[in-house]
Amino acid sequence: MQSRVCNVSRRRRVLRQLSAVSLGFCLLLPSVVRVASAGNDEPSTAAANEQPGFEETWQVAYIGKSRVGYLRSTTSRKQHEGTERIVTESEMSMAITRFGQPIKIKTLIQTEETLTGDMLQYRFELLNPPAAPTRKSGRVENDRLIVETEIAGKTIRSEQKWDTSIKAPGYQERMLRESPLKPGETRTLQSFEPFVGKLNKVTLTAGGEEVVELLGGQSRKLLKVSMDSSIAPGTRVDEFLDSQGEALKTSTSLLGIGMTTYRVTRELALQSLSGEETDLAVATLVKTGKIDRPYDTRRVVYRVTIPGEDPAKILPSGASQQIESVDGDTVDLTVSKVVPTKVTPPKVAATVPNQAAAVQEKSYREPNNFIQSDDAQVQKLAAQAVGDETDPWTMAKKLEAWVYENLKKKNFSTLLASAAEVAKDLQGDCTEHAVLLAAMARARKIPSRVVVGLVYVASLSSFGGHMWTEVEIAGQWIPIDATLGRGGIGAAHIKFADSSFSDDDSVAPLSAFLPLVSVLGKLQIEVRQVDYR
């Protein structure tokens, strides 16, 4: 029975690791996975293998035909002040190449809980050099969750109300040992996920047995179990279990290429990476019709189809985007260029916003872990960029132009650096342009947020993953893009999510990327009408 418990726990860890990987993949326009050496990085072994009940499993990860890293999962028990705790740990190490530059990613998630599943504490760590490590730890004290977040060497402490009925990630999984899934059965689990810092609902559906191809050309008849997650909607993970409940293979249709893991020995998991090159650009780019002069577009109507899903539930509506349903999996998306209105909005009676709205509005103005508008270098650069200008929209355009002109080194080896790091090094890709511009805007008292979505690539007649910035001018959210420096954008950007990048935002920093990642590989876009200025 014990092996059954750990097997289910491993299934949840795989889901968290796939979610972590998706953060980078949504930004891989155009990119290549190649042979790299990060697979030899030594894992965190510590002295855990001497702890009571210690169990360890290893998996090797492939994207397409390319071997890109390993996954390690452990479960153990320890004594703390006379009580027994269950400790679970998930580690992922991957190496990819983007625009010819190597990227190394390593994540670690560790949780501690009581035997009855009460969450005690957790730790999350993301390593993506040359960016500074991102670390987050939390501990439960009565009805409060105390969280400490370290980004760019600075630690910020926060608190939030904790529902003591919420269980740790491993508890619901352990309960399945009493009643394992049977073919055709569906089970729903809910717990707190450290990766995104929020509740996650996972639905497990057991199918039938299938003949599955494994490494080395071997085939086995295995039980298929599919997993759907609330933190990564639309991204299904399939596992294939043997008669003992061991997961010998997992797969997901991530980005149309697919990510697959296989159960292996430690020695095999840590071997040097090898495999054929896989051009992720083919999978991440969404082919469409030609748009002449995309940056001069005033209005574009796109027909968007996501087979099996309703795009209206994924794409946001607002001033720049309107959605009209065509059928269950197709909408007409009208994207319009937005500029500040010159008409003074009428005065309205003061209203008291609800608490959630007030917190959200505050998050667009204040510094946070990724957008450090209070950083001395950020403030210095913002002051240099705007000079004596006081008009908010003119300042925003000056800030956009400054970031465009001064981030000259296009460093693609970092997936997401914080604004303070970018202000110091002045290098990066679209993510770094977006967070620095957002921070500089807030430093000049202009509310800002970042946007994750798609941008039209004229040379390829395709859309690719992108990130840009929005600023609030006279009550309007206006998009600007520091990778273009044109004083705003046209209608060739498609928005999927926006976030203040504050942990208090309804869309947390890392989960902002998930709506786009979940549909890449199956998203279809048709250009139906283009209007120019």
If asked whether residues 214 and 300 sit together in one domain, one would say: no
Q: What is residue 67's predicted lDDT score, i.e. its pLDDT?
A: 85
**Overall average pLDDT of the 97-107 stretch:** 71
**Same domain, residue pair 71 and 187:** yes
Instruction: Please give the pLDDT value at position 506.
Output: 58
Residue 350 is assigned to a structural domain of this protein:
no
What confidence score (pLDDT) does residue 29 get?
Answer: 33
Stretch 120-142: mean pLDDT, rounded? 87
Distance CA 59, CA 162 (A): 34
Residues 267 and 311 both lie in one domain: no
Question: Is pLDDT above 70 for 114?
Answer: yes
**Residue 24 in this model has a pLDDT that exceeds 70:** no
The pLDDT of residue 355 is above 90? no
Segment holding 398, helix H or strand E: helix 392-406
| Residue 348 falls inside a structural domain | no
Q: Is the pLDDT of residue 282 over 70?
A: no
Domain boundary among 225, 254, 279: 279
Domains contained in the chain, number = 2
The answer to the question of residue 293 being in a domain is yes
226 and 333 together in one domain:
no
For the segment 442-460, the average pLDDT, to the nearest whole number, is 94
301 shares a domain with 206: no
Q: What percent of the chain is predicted at pLDDT more than 70? A: 80
Domain that holds residue 403: 287-343+356-532
DSSP E strand stretches across 347-475 = 448-457, 462-473
431 or 96, which is more confident: 431
Do 262 and 339 belong to one domain? Answer: no
* CATH code of residue 449: 3.10.620.30
The listed range with the strongest mean pLDDT (160-174, 266-280, 391-405) is: 391-405
Comparing 512 with 185, which gets the higher pLDDT? 185
Query: CB of 139 within 8 A of CB of 121?
Result: yes
Q: Read off the pLDDT band of 46 (50, 70, 90).
A: very low
pLDDT top residue among 393 and 230: 393
Domain boundary among 226, 256, 279: 279
Cα 202 from Cα 230, distance rounded (Å): 7
Token pair of 526, please? 């048709």
Q: What is the pLDDT of residue 52?
A: 62
For residue 351, being part of any structural domain is answered with: no
- Give me the helices (H) in 26-46, please: none
Q: What is the pLDDT of residue 39?
A: 36
d(CA 475, CA 199): 32
Judge whether 261 and 60 are in contact, CB under 8 Å.
Answer: yes
* Residues 6 or more apart whose Cβ sits within 8 Å of residue 351: none
pLDDT the model gives residue 72:
93
Give the C-alpha separation, 62 to 268, whole Å. Answer: 13
Same domain, 238 and 339: no
Residues 89 and 37 in one domain: yes
Please tell me whether residues 393 and 269 are part of one structural domain.
no
Q: Which of 232, 256, 279 is the last residue of a domain?
A: 279
Q: Are 58 and 74 in contact (CB under 8 A)?
A: no
- What's this model's pTM, rounded to 2 decimal places? 0.76
Read off the pLDDT of residues 3-23 as tens digits, 9 standing for 90 and up: 333 343 434 433 333 333 334
Is residue 26 predicted with pLDDT exceeding 50? no
Q: How far apart are CA 18 and CA 111, in angstroms?
A: 18
pLDDT at 201 over 90: no
Answer yes or no: do 274 and 291 share one domain: no
Q: Tens digits of per-residue pLDDT, 146-195?
A: 999 887 778 888 888 998 888 887 776 677 666 778 899 998 888 888 87
pLDDT in tens, 73-99: 998 999 988 899 999 998 988 877 665
Same domain, 330 and 443: yes
What type of residue is 270? L
- What Rg, from alpha-carbon coordinates, does the chain have? 24
One domain, residues 272 and 310:
no
Position 382 in a domain:
yes
Q: Report angle CA 229, 86, 241 to the nearest 5 degrees.
A: 45
Examine residue 510 and state whether it is found in any structural domain, yes or no: yes
User: What confidence category does residue 28 fall into, taking pLDDT thresholds of 50, 70 and 90?
Assistant: very low
Q: Provide the residue type at 480 as one letter.
A: I
B/e letters for 85-111, b = 16+ CB within 10 Å, e = fewer, are: bbbbbbbbbbbbbbeeebbbbbbbbbb
Q: Is residue 375 part of a domain?
A: yes
Mean pLDDT over each residue of the chain, to the nearest integer: 81
